[in-house]
Amino acid sequence: MDKKNLANYLDFANHHQDATPKDIKELCQKVKKYGFHSAFVNPFYVSLAKETLANGIVGTVIDFPLGQETKEIKILASIDAVKKGADELDIAMNVGLFKASEHEQVLEEMKTVVAAAKEIRRTVVLKFIIETSLLTSNEIKKASQLVLQSGADFVKANSGWGRRGSSLKDVDLIREAVGDKVKIKVAGDIDTYREAISFINRGVDRIGTSHAVRIIEEFEKKERG
């Protein structure tokens, strides 16, 4: 794997509460410099990120990280983000509702959000965050199947704000549940090249991280020997 391929796995993210416009502009400049797949920002900064990145990919989060806004709020937030130029949406699943075995209600919400966002722009990429740190192995597989049934493009294992980050076991469980029918994104505590490459080798399609620059710099150091 070369540096360009590695960078394309990485969604460079800043979801901090105290992120300033300057921080977001710096994030976008680094996305350009290193060739990361996208800049991921909070919804407020989607327009700024699109302006700064020009033709680059901008992602944002919806109902992050709790997932317990109403369905109507998730729909409106998703529509607003897409209209402002977001190319990818990472949407938090209602984990509490899911754990109460209200699977049909969770799936209906997912399907409605997917339909609303794709009606605005068919090419928008949608990911549902299932927060594996709060789920049993069987729940991880079931939640992944719901994401597949919803028509979304990715299962995202974690928000990065849960009890732990993503694990290789999470990836195995998700893949067991959905095969190659939906892509996988991981996030949370993936801070080094060694950690990133272990997930890539396991078959993930995307990594969300605020340490993308460090990962690339460690790769460059490794290549230099």
Residues assigned a catalytic role: 90, 156, 185
Place of tokens 């919806």: 62
Integer Cα distance of 111 and 163 in angstroms = 27
Integer Cα distance of 83 and 12 in angstroms = 22
What are residue 129's phi and psi, to 5 degrees? Answer: -90, 115
Our separate counts of H helices and E strands in the chain read 10, 8
- Cβ atoms of residues 67 and 41 within 8 Å: no
- Cβ atoms of residues 212 and 34 within 8 Å: yes
Whole-Å CA distances, 7 to 23, 54, 70, 100, 106: 20, 18, 35, 39, 34
Beta bridge partners of 202: none
- Cβ atoms of residues 184 and 157 within 8 Å: yes
Integer Cα distance of 35 and 5 in angstroms = 9
